[in-house]
Every structure is written in C-alpha cells, then in structure tokens.
Amino acid sequence: MNTHLSLNDPHTPRRCAPPLFIKGNRGSLAEIPSMKRGARQGGVCRSLSQNLSLSLNLSLAPILALGFALFASPLPAQPNITQAAHAPVTATLIPLSENWRMDGDVPVHALLISLQGLANRDQPRVYLEYPQNWQWEIVHPLVGFLENRHGMKFDRLGLDDADAALGRFARYAKGVVVWDKAVRSSLIVAFTIAGVEDLVVVNEDQLALAARHGLKPVVDLRGRFTGQPDEQIYQWAYDHYWARCSRDYYVVLGGHAGAEMQPGIADFGIQQRAFFSDLSANPKHPGELALLKKILIQQNTASIVLGWHSYGKDTEGQHTTLVGNYGLIMEGLHNLPNVSFTSQIPLTPDFKFTNNHHVTPGRPLKAEPKVYVCAVATDSMGIGTWTKPGRGRIPYTWQVLMDWAWMNPPALQYFYEDKSPNDYFIGGLSGPGYMYPKAIPPDKFPGLMQIARRLMAKLDLRVLEIMDYSEGNRHVGNTDLPKELVDRYYEQFPDILGFINGYGSARTFDLRDGKPFLSYDYYLDVNRTIPEAIADLDELIQLNPKRPYFLLMHVRESNTIEKVSDILGHLTESVEVVPLDVFLSLAADAKTYRTYHRQPNDPVDRNP
Amino acid sequence: MPVFRSFLHLLRAAVFLGGLTAALAAISSSPLAGDWHIDASHSTELSPWKDYELTISVSGDTVTLHRRLAWGRREFSDNLTVQAGAVTTVPVDMWPENRHLGAYISAAHTKRVRADWLDAGRILRLNTDLVLSTQQGDRAVNILSDYKLSANGTLLTLTELRSTRNRPIVYVFTRKVEEMK
C-alpha cells in the first residue's frame, strides 16, 4: 500500500507558491551583489522543496519520517527554475545541422541557441532539434514524448533557418552582440553578454540578417581581444558583466576545443544570465585558474556549474575537484540541449517517479553460494544505450542525474515511463550532481547530502553511487574513500539501501547495519572485445574463490546491453545477474568481502 | 683407455665452454635489446591502456625491462631488473596489467621473478610469483612471460600466461628504430 507524503519544509524560507506561470530571477535584482539568494532571485517561484513528494511503502513511512526529522535543518538553497503549470499547446521546433565547426555552422547555431535562450526566458517557446548523432541522444525521442504525454504540437521550421526564427522571436532581443570570428573565446564571452543584455549572438556575416529583423549591434567584440590570452579576455568579461550575472549558475563552456564547439547548454545559461568561460583549472595556467577560483568562490553555496571542462586545457579530475572545493554542484554536459525549454515543462499530473524495487526494506534476501553479477550504466542515461536494442534483456541498473528532477523534468519522466521491468534506477553521482566527496569541505558536505536525500526521495531512489577522481582515476592513483568519509555517508543516509563506489574498479568495501558499501570490481571498456571481457570476468571469479562472490561491474555507456548479455552468457561459471537492490541485499546477508577503506599510503594522482 | 677418456672429457669441456661462450656472446649482444613499441592491431586489446613502450637492456646476466603504459595524459612506467638464471625479489608499486579488474598488488608490494634465456638468447622467459589482493583477500598468482624474437629480428612477441586467466595475453611489438625509418 502506498501513501503520498508531502515534504513541504517549513524551514525552507525562500520560496512561495506559484501562479500559473512563474517569474524567475531578473537582472535588475541580480545586479545587487550584497543581496542574499532568495531576494536576489526575486519574483515568485515554485520551490523545489514545495514540489517534493515521496511515494512510500506505508511500512517504511515512520522510519523515513524519523530519518528526515533527524535532518530537518534548513534546506540548502537550490536555484529556482521558472516552471509553467502545464506545457504549452504549441512550440517552434528548429532542426540543426550536423556541422559544429567554428568555420562551419557554429555561427548560425550560436545565433539560434542565443535566440532560444531569450525566447524561452519566461515561457517555453523554442525547441532545437539537434542532429541524430548528437551525444545526448534523447533530443528526438523527447519530441515524441512531449507530443504524446503533453499534447504539444510543434511547428517545424527549416534546417538552421535563422531568418524564420528571427522573424518569430527577434522581439525577445534588444539587439545583437557581435563576436569576433578570429577569436574563438569571443563567442563564449558573447554568450555571457547575450544573457545579461538580452542580445542575440551574431558574427559580422549575420549583421545584415539581424538588421532585417530590427536588431542592431549593442556590443561589438570585433578586434577587442585580438592577440590576447584567455585569462585577459575573461578578465575583461568579468570586469564588465560579472556583477550582473547569476550566482546560481556558472557555465564552463568547454568540452570540444579548437575548431569545434558544441554549446548545447548555452540556451539555459543565457536564459539564467550565467557567466560563461572555458577557464582552466589546470595549475599550468595560473592566471586562468586564479580567475576561475575568484568566480567560483562568489557563487552561491550548492549552486550549479553547468557544462564541461575544456578538452584543450585541463582535465575532468582537475575541474570537478576544484568545483567541489567550493561546495558547488557540477552538471557536466556542455552539449546538454534545450534545458531552457524542458526545465519549464512540469511533470504530467498523472505521473510520479516510481522505481522497480525488488527488495522490501527490513526483509533481507538470503544469499546462495554462487556468483552474483550486477551491471550498472552511468555517465547519464541520455548519452548511453537507453535507446539501443537489448534494453530489458537482462537486469540492468541506471544512474540517474538527480538534479534533472528540476532541471529537466520531462527527460526524467521519459526515462521512468520508458523503463522495462529489468531497469532499475539509482542516484548519483556522490551527491545531488557530479561531485568528488574527498574534495568537498566537510562543513559543506551535510548540506549537499541533504539535497541529495530529498532528490532521492522524490525520485524513488534507494541507492547512491559515489565516484571520486580527486586522487586518481581508472588508471593511476586511487578512487577510494577514507573511513572518515564513509562514516559521513552512513550518517547522512540512514535510510539508504546501500552505496556503490568507483568508476573503474575500486577497493572501498564496508557493511554497517545491513547496508553494504561496495565498489566496482570491473569496468567494461568500450573497446574491450567480448572474448577478452569474458576472460576478465572469469579471472575475477578465479581470483575471488569464496561463494557468494559479488561482482559489481560498471558498463561504460557506449557498450550495448546486447554485448553485456553476450559476455555474461559465456562465462565458465554460471552466474546470476541481478538488479542492484537485490545485489546489495544479498551482499548484506553474506559478507564475503573484506572491509577496506583508503589507506594513508595509497597512491595519489591529481589528474594532471 | 685413460688417454682416450681424458680426450673425451676435454672434448666435452670444449664443447660445453664453446656453447657457453656462444650463448653468453649472444646474450651480451642480445637481439632483444632495444626500444619496442606495441602494434595494437596485432595484440590483445590493451585497455585500460592505449599505448605500450618497452625498452630492454642487457648487460651480462642483468636484464632490465622498462615499460611505459599510457592512456592520453595518464601514464605509468616502471623498471624491472632481474638476473638471468636466478630468482630476484623486486619491489612493485602497483599492478598495472589490468586496472579494470578489482585486483591490486598486495601489501607486501613485491614479486619474485626468475629469468632465463632460452633458444640461444632468442627468448627471455620470466616466471613471476606475486600476490594480488582482491575484495575477498590475497591470492597467489603465477605469470609466465615469454619475450620472443621473430626470425628476422624485427618483431617481439610477449606472451603472458597468468595462472588465474583462461586466455593468454599476446602483445606484439615492433622496433622503434624501424618505425623511425
């Protein structure tokens, strides 16, 4: 029997009830740096905490209520999102080409993405249909979902049709900002200016087109940055625009570098008036690093860093570690598209997040003397194999990016409604977003984990996945957690079913009060052939002779489920493939693994 | 026939010494010595690494193998120095062979390696004993590694048989000098 428990938090001070359409933060208030977040965001906003609801097994309710009571401190602020009461009846759909070169179609895409950010600022009006091979592969299925579940009608324009788009939406802009074709970083600065000044991003070749729609240059970056290094370019942007930018969102518009750019997240950054850069977190670039630290330290606690580090400057480990040092939350996908649109679309009234649970808390399963295997796919469901053949063939566990509960509700509803009986969801990654727990200052850890708990409750998730590349990676160094940090996770998640850790293989294992803390024993590389993967798993089974043996494998997102199924079907010893909640319950019953935490002499690699 | 027996002894000794001298000569100028680079297309898939460079140095009975494994900016390198015909205990920082497996060098951080030259110095065989640590505890593992030179001396094939693995691992290397030409 299920009950519906509202989690309105009386200690959450800053939100208020929404009208039909809710206004978000506006620039005039954002200009006042001394104001606190709640006031600065202005307007009336639908609160995340007010929206939180939890589907519970009735027998668990008292336990969980107690658990939440233990953590009833004020909810750390999370950014507000302008959200409609319902999806719009119609919206404009603009297909984009596959060319993402700076000297190719990036100029027209930048124009359209900036226009999208402005047009969608107070209502979802424009959806960009990214090409079929776009890394975030849910762009196309989501159109069908919005049509079918929300009854939306899309009015389709021509491919990259900026003229038609400006004809419809130029009225949401006050002019244009002109970026310098000779200076790549000027386009990133232009995205900042577009959001702050309500301008469409163009280069000199598009000035005439913009003029035909009444848009004149307001800011011209041509020649301004010639010969300057990035630290100087972004310092100029900081000096002129930072004070008016959001303290809830910062965009690191990295990822592809050089001749290519995939600024899929820019519409949302512009909508939210975020500061954009691709500043480096690499100590080899001290000037850029200093400015980046200056930016991050001024952002609100638990605010969002959108995008991805620059492939040309620093590493994932360096950047995510630095973001964690300031207690910020990484939402790491620079080409995540249409968030200015989807973030405003609510869940359908008939929907609630419901997972495929196989275990009843308090009733542990009995492990048999055999090998248990659990396959987990991470790296965001939107860029994995969700839409590929084979899903549903074997029990499979999927890591949910929990902040999408408010950043991208239709995407999560799509996944939850599209799941097969063999798909099981878990929370990640280390907290409410992508973060490394060893990098988070201890005083900021409880607040972040409080957000994670509430998102897990909303999304019906009972397992948390942890990853930490602050001291290593899947090649060198270590990805393990010291006992003190494991203690903190157990303390913060009293109602959890268990934790899993790693990305590549890791060594942190524990079991407390029936809640296992296990690490990956195997990482299935995309390039690993099926015969070699079979030999790998057979070897692990040989190396771990006790039964039951709990073999947790991380499946790199591009591996198909068919491949995983083939591998598991050809092992020399028969194994049982189970979903993660079953796996953890069995691991709680038979502790054949040794307790292990990060040791003081473990190797450390800072991901240079 | 004491004289004849002495002659036979001398003959045997000469043959033995001659063979030994030849073997030593072959080894001191070992055709395996040099810089080698993996040919991934003819090798067992290398993940988690993408690149493997091997340098073999031979000086008398002392053989040193320097390997560099790399994946983009991430890399690992180590040196293994052993004595031919003897067992050497060597320190081990980490077990890099397959970091995608939950298996790590044990707390002792050592391995025992016996090295032998075979086939007049064409093959270097390493017989390694080490202990790997897994989630269930320590596990003794034996690895037979043959570094085998092709007939024309341009290819080096490393075949590894691990006692815990059902399938051999084969890495094929080409001389870096050849690549430069």
Q: What average pLDDT does chain A have?
A: 88
Give the residue-averaged pLDDT of A20-25. 29
Quick one: pLDDT at residue A557? 83
| Residue among B48, B98, B167 whose CB faces A531 most closely | B167
Chain A to chain B, count of Cβ pairs less than 8 Å apart?
110
Distance (Å, whole) CA A436 – CA A257: 24
**Residue A368 corresponds to which tokens in the numbers above?**
């048999």
Minimal Cβ distance to B100: which of A504, A592, A593: A504
Per-residue pLDDT, A486: 98
Among the ranges given (A291-300, A408-417, B17-26), the one the predictor scored with the smallest mean pLDDT: B17-26
Band of pLDDT at residue A177, cut at 50, 70 and 90: very high
Q: Are B156 and B150 in contact (CB under 8 A)?
A: yes
The reply to whether residue A605 touches residue B101, judged by beta carbons under 8 angstroms, is no
What number is the average pLDDT over the span A13-24? 28
Q: Give the pLDDT mean for A152-168.
A: 98
pLDDT at residue number B3 = 47
Which residues, given as ranges, of chain B have pLDDT below 50?
1-4, 8, 11, 14-27, 180-181
What are the chain A neighbours of B104 within 8 Å (beta carbons)? 507
Kindly tell me if the per-residue pLDDT of A411 is higher than 80. Answer: yes
Q: From CA A437, how far away is CA A429, in angstroms rounded? A: 10
Name chain A contacts of B137, Cβ cutoff 8 Å: 594
Measure the CA–CA gap between B102 and B104, rounded to whole angstroms: 7
Residues of B in contact with A550 (CB under 8 A): 135
Chain B CB contacts of A539 under 8 Å are 101, 103, 162, 164-166
CATH number of B31-180: 2.40.128.20
**Residue of A9, A14, A5, A8 whose CA lies nearest to A72:** A9
- From the list A551, A518, A504, A502, the residue with the least C-alpha distance to B100 is A504
Residue A591, both tokens: 């502790």
B166·A539 Cβ contact <8 A: yes
What is the phi-psi region of residue A227: left when phi exceeds 0, alpha when psi lies from -120 to 50, beta otherwise? left
pLDDT of residue B5: 55
CA separation (Å) from A543 to A363, A508, A587, B83, B136? 31, 17, 18, 29, 8
| Full DSSP string of A494-533 | TT-SEEEE-SS----BEEETTEEEEE-SEEE-TT--HHHH
DSSP state of A170: G
Residue A153 has pLDDT above 70, yes or no: yes
Measured distance CA(A119)–CA(A113) in Å, rounded: 10
What does the CA dihedral A8, A14, A20, A21 come to, rounded to 10 degrees?
-140
Q: Quote the pLDDT of residue A492.
A: 98
Tokens of A442: 């201890």
What's the mean pLDDT in A191-199?
98
Provide the percentage of residues in chain A whose pLDDT is more than 70. Answer: 87
The pLDDT confidence band at residue A78, using thresholds 50, 70 and 90, is low
pLDDT at B28: 53
pLDDT of A52 above 70: no
DSSP A76: P
Give burial (CB, 10 Å; 0-12/13-18/19+) of A291: buried
8 Å CB contact of A540 and B137: no
For the sheet with A126-129, list strands across it: A126-129, A90-95, A153-156
**Per-residue confidence (pLDDT) for residue B29, from 0 to 100:** 77
- According to DSSP H, which parts of A343-482 are helical? 404-407, 409-418, 445-458
ipTM score of complex: 0.86
Residues of A in contact with B48 (CB under 8 A): 474-475, 504, 523, 525
Residue B80 phi, psi (nearest 5): -125, 115
Question: Residue A328 above 60 pLDDT?
Answer: yes
Q: For residue A385, what pLDDT band results from cuts at 50, 70 and 90? A: confident
CA distance A502 to A510: 14
Amino acid at A482: P
Determine how β-strand A371-377 pairs with β-strand A575-577.
Answer: parallel
- With contacts defined as CB-CB under 8 Å, which chain B residues touch A549? 136
The shortest C-alpha distance from B145 to chain A (Å) reads 17
**pLDDT tens-digit readout, A338-376:** 999 999 999 999 999 999 999 998 888 999 999 999 999
Of B73, B99, B135, the CB nearest to A544: B135
pLDDT of residue A17: 27
**pLDDT tens digits, A538-571:** 999 999 999 999 999 999 988 999 999 999 999 9
Residue B12: the pLDDT is 58
Q: What is the pLDDT at residue A69?
A: 38
CB contacts under 8 A, B 25-44 vs A, are 44
Task: Give the whole-angstrom CA distance, residue A386 versus residue A397.
Answer: 11
The answer to whether the CB of A79 falls within 8 A of the CB of A33 is no
Task: Look at residue A307 and tell me whether its pLDDT is greater than 70.
Answer: yes
Minimal Cα distance from A506: which residue of B?
B102
Instruction: Please state the rounded mean pLDDT for residues A572-581.
Output: 97
Q: CA-to-CA distance for A474 and A460, rounded, in angstroms?
A: 30
What percentage of chain A reaches a pLDDT higher than 90? 81
Mean pLDDT for the stretch of residues A162-179:
98
Strands A423-428 and A396-401: parallel
Looking at the predicted structure, is the pLDDT value of residue A61 above 50? no
Mean pLDDT of A95-124: 98
- Residue spans of the domains in chain B: they are 1-28, 31-180
- Is residue A478 within 8 A of residue A502, CB to CB? The reply is no
- H helices of A91-221, in order, are 106-119, 139-150, 162-169, 184-197, 207-212
Taking each helix axis from N to C terminus, what angle separates A286-298 and A230-241, rounded to the nearest 10 degrees?
30
Question: How does residue A59 score in pLDDT terms, banded at 50, 70 and 90?
Answer: very low
